[in-house]
Amino acid sequence: MSNVTKTEGSAPDLDVESDWNRLFVGGEWLGPGDRETITVEDPSTREPWGAVPAGTVDDVDAAYEAAVSAQSTWADRDPSERAALVDRVHELMEDHEDAIAELLQVESGSAQLKSTVEFQTAVADVAEATTMPSRADGDIRDSTIAGKENLVKREPAGVVAVIPPWNFPLHLAIRAVAPAVALGNAVVIKPASETPVTSGLVIAKLFEMAGAPSGLVNVVTGRGSSIGDRVAGHPDVDVVAFTGSTEVGRHVAKQAVDSLAFPAMELGGNGPSVVLEDADIDNAVSGSAFGSFSHQGQVCISINRHLVHESVYDEFVEGLVGKAEMLPAGSAHSPATFVGPIINESQRDQILDYIEETVDAGATLETGGGTVDVDGVDDSLVVEPTVLSDVTNNMTAACNEHFGPVAPVIPFSDDEEAIELANATEYGLAASVWSGDRNRAEDVADEIDAGMVHINDQPINEEPDVPFGGMKASGIGRFHGDAIVDELTETKWISVQREQRSFPF
């Protein structure tokens, strides 16, 4: 760590008022020193509320050095000790729920319902991770050679890089961090620049409070353009857990593979929701509104396209418009808000451009399409819940992952066309099918190219013991449950020749 600026600072408290302008490397909270800083903005107010250091390549190297040193001894700890550490993190999260939820509201523009759901999901992730040390079991396999015993053991992968996004920053970081630590790995987190506190520094603080050994969990804040390649392609990295866009994910995966690290990638989506003519339309409309407008559409598994049978198309559109127009939209600081701000100006402008281009191509703007005024904010980031009808699959808001509160509705004539439309995308993350006939719905679900398909439910679902991930350009590997145990460990075959073997020479 000789090249690292070690301007030490006091450890932050676990709340919004704390000074989070720190890196966490080797068990030390390092102030910015001579580094540049990155301003963190509250999307609801458009005002800065904090800053973090712009970490350097030297900081990344120091974090990996600390992680390698810590991991070698942590892997030797009894599984019950590793489980106990993660369990203490679980308890601390529950003790500090209000503070963490407030951080999510301020930093990521999460409305109260979303911050509550994200917190609960993250807590469930950590609870599931406490069971993993005892689940990383081995096996004994028969041998084709007389007198031989084959032992298949599991060992920690080593050092895991975690690169989370800004939309569900706490959950999408800790779902990799907690299992990694529980299974005997050390971690280097490169949090999202827009949400460095909730996707990194809060997690470091929780593990520090829980008594984690120095260097076990490290956080280097900074811009991806400056340190991202070094984090993903470091010679000491063994697994890279990345969640984000497919474009960036492809680059991150290349860096990981160049270092022979496993790329665990959850990438973009263009989720179709298929509404068959025998569906309960009222239920489908309610679920579809939730699936499109939750967290203002900034969800990789949200509904990006509503594919609706032509016989119920008008009824569905009318119902969805009614839902969109009743949803409270505004500042995430208001308890009444359901649709809060988009994370930043460039994302907002892209969403509005997608809407405009889709209307110019012939779609009908049923409702929305603009921004919502927020008191005291000159240039609001809150986009109105928007419904577009007369959409085709190749229009801008349909063929792109719009990542906003936008609901393009596309008609189809039969099940075969619905399946064809659903699969006409490079993505394959999540989907929904609505029908009154379970067998028919399952037949359609079987034909949709997606890693997760939900029948008579919207696709924003995630459970800690069920494999989560996508097909095609939506990712590599799976998070959660036994799937993440496989990805964060290595198998080792040890054979024991218990009876003397004869050799030909």
**Residues annotated as catalytic (active site), given as ranges:** 266, 300
* SS3 state at 272: strand
Count Cβ atoms below 10 Å from residue 94 Cβ, excluding itself.
13
- What beta strand segments (E) does 14-97 contain? 23-25, 28-30, 37-42, 47-53
Query: b/e map of 470-490 (b: 16 or more CB within 10 Å)?
Result: bebbbbbbbbbbebbbbbbbe
- Token pair listed for 503: 């050799």
- What is the spatial distance between Cα 404 and Cα 292, in angstroms, rounded to a whole number? 8
Instruction: Supply the angle between the helices 112-129 and 97-108 in degrees, to the nearest 10.
Output: 120
Q: What is the DSSP letter of 297?
A: G
Contact yes or no for 194/166 (Cβ under 8 A): yes
Instruction: Supply the angle between the helices 169-182 and 112-129 in degrees, to the nearest 10.
Output: 10
- What is the spatial distance between Cα 279 and Cα 273, in angstroms, rounded to a whole number? 12
Q: What is the DSSP letter of 296?
A: G
- Token pair listed for 141: 């396999």
Contact yes or no for 43/330 (Cβ under 8 A): no
- Token pair listed for 422: 């659903």
Identify any residues that bridge with 207 across adjacent strands, giving them in sequence order.
none
- What is the spatial distance between Cα 228 and Cα 60, in angstroms, rounded to a whole number? 9
Contact yes or no for 235/58 (Cβ under 8 A): no
- Render 304-343 in DSSP notation, one character per residue: EEEEEETTTHHHHHHHHHHHHHHS-BS-TTSTT-SB---S
Residue type, 395: M
318 CB-near residues (< 8 Å, 6+ apart): none
- What is the spatial distance between Cα 159 and Cα 143, in angstroms, rounded to a whole number? 33
448 CB-near residues (< 8 Å, 6+ apart): 272, 274, 419, 422, 423, 431, 433
Contact yes or no for 436/279 (Cβ under 8 A): yes
- Residues 459, 465, 466, 471, Cα dihedral to 10°: 100
**Nearest 5°: CA angle at 488, between 484 and 489?**
120
